[in-house]
Amino acid sequence: MNDVRRPIKAALLQVHSLAGLALALLWAVVGITGATMAFEDEIEASLNSHVMRVDASATRRLTPDELIARLQSAGDFGRPSAVTMASDPSAATRIRFARSEGGARPSSVYVDPYDGHLLGSPRGEDFFAAVRKLHRWLLLPGDGNGIGRKITGSAAVCLIVMLITGPVLRWPYRARSVKMWLKPNLGLRGRGLHRSLHAVIGTWVLPVYLVMTLTGLWYSFEWYKAGANWLLARPQAADAAMQPKPPRGAAAAAGKGEAKIEAKAEAKPLAFDRVWTTFLQQENNDYGRVLLTLPAGAGTAVRVRSWPRDSSLESVRDEFRIDAVTGRVISSDRYADKTFGERVLAGVLDIHRGAILGWPGKLAFMLAAAMMPLFAVTGLLLYLSRRRHRRLARQPMGHLVPGE
């Protein structure tokens, strides 16, 4: 039986080693950047408490368009593209801006929701934006539409191969021994220590890496997203998820009236207030935080995402598309109406970063991601020591030539 296993393990070792050598640096970059973003929200909140909080007041808070008008009277900040508002009376309003003609996006700003005066731009925003682009697209041209997205996705597929071959290669003689699987032998030195750290810590983080990889593929390949939607979502929900812009059937329902609306939109920039009024009616003024985003291209459908007061998860939200000109609700997607599978799909990002388990989960996923360079280093050392061992083992053969 051992004779049968030996060539299989030798082949798996070659696959494991070559894939690891080729992609170790890429995986290390993705791991470090992912760990850096694990507590992004908490870090930004700590750095920017002076601009994110205001003194609560009984005064009426301004509407989105009123805030934008007062901000623009203070200077030229660019064309507003999104507004984030909160029900908390001490929370500032955040305004984001569209990209300039050169492709650069101005920094967002916080404004006082009561009088609209500028509080300042958040610290760390540009840093985390760069880290996110490096994590997802390796800073390559095209961002989500470029080659970087496919490279990181292909690397994720290869990492799944590593996660499968790793336990097979280290399968111990005492397979039922928990100590053998989970306790590194720190008394070893050199190659033995490297192998123990590589194998045992790899066993610790394997479930986390598997979750990270399977959820990360969601952002890399449309076929993967389509398959997940087909498997977990109802047919109508899957169709809506794969074709969010425009909403399914919206163009046919609107008919010629839609063309008139677009003509009006071209004559006058889209505004938020009509959308804001419709949203408050939809949610009965019961929300914790809401993000209103203007369409990037042609059209009048404003995307509205609403999070409840008692949740810190990105996935627990209601989503609407509301016409900015008429105030008509084009589509409504409420979290309470989702099936279990659809909630899993909505929570891909929270699962990917461990937030679904609260801050302990985020900490565990951060530490696991930060360990990725360890496998790059120990894997390289093991490969070099293995080559050196083979070379030394072959040297005495030269002295067995007859006559020497």
The tens digit of pLDDT for each residue in 262-295 reads 444 445 678 999 999 999 999 888 899 999 999 9
pLDDT of residue 1: 47
Name 212's Cβ contacts closer than 8 Å, sequence gap at least 6: 34, 352, 365, 368, 369
Place of tokens 């072959």: 394
Backbone angles phi, psi at 51, to 5 degrees: -115, -15
Is residue 344 predicted with pLDDT exceeding 90? yes
Name the pTM for this structure.
0.85
pLDDT of residue 403: 45
Name 74's Cβ contacts closer than 8 Å, sequence gap at least 6: 117, 118
pLDDT of residue 241: 63
Q: Are 149 and 104 in contact (CB under 8 A)?
A: no
Is residue 302 predicted with pLDDT exceeding 90? yes
Q: How big is the chain, counted in residues?
A: 404
Return the H-helix or E-strand segment holding 20.
helix 2-36
**Would you state the structure tokens that stand for residue 253, as one six-digit string?**
């329902």
The tens digit of pLDDT for each residue in 127-184 reads 999 999 999 999 998 888 899 999 999 999 999 999 999 988 888 666 677 778 888 8
Is residue 376 predicted with pLDDT exceeding 90? yes
Sheet strands (E) in 240-317: 289-293, 301-307
Is residue 214 predicted with pLDDT exceeding 90? yes
167/165 Cα distance (integer angstroms): 6
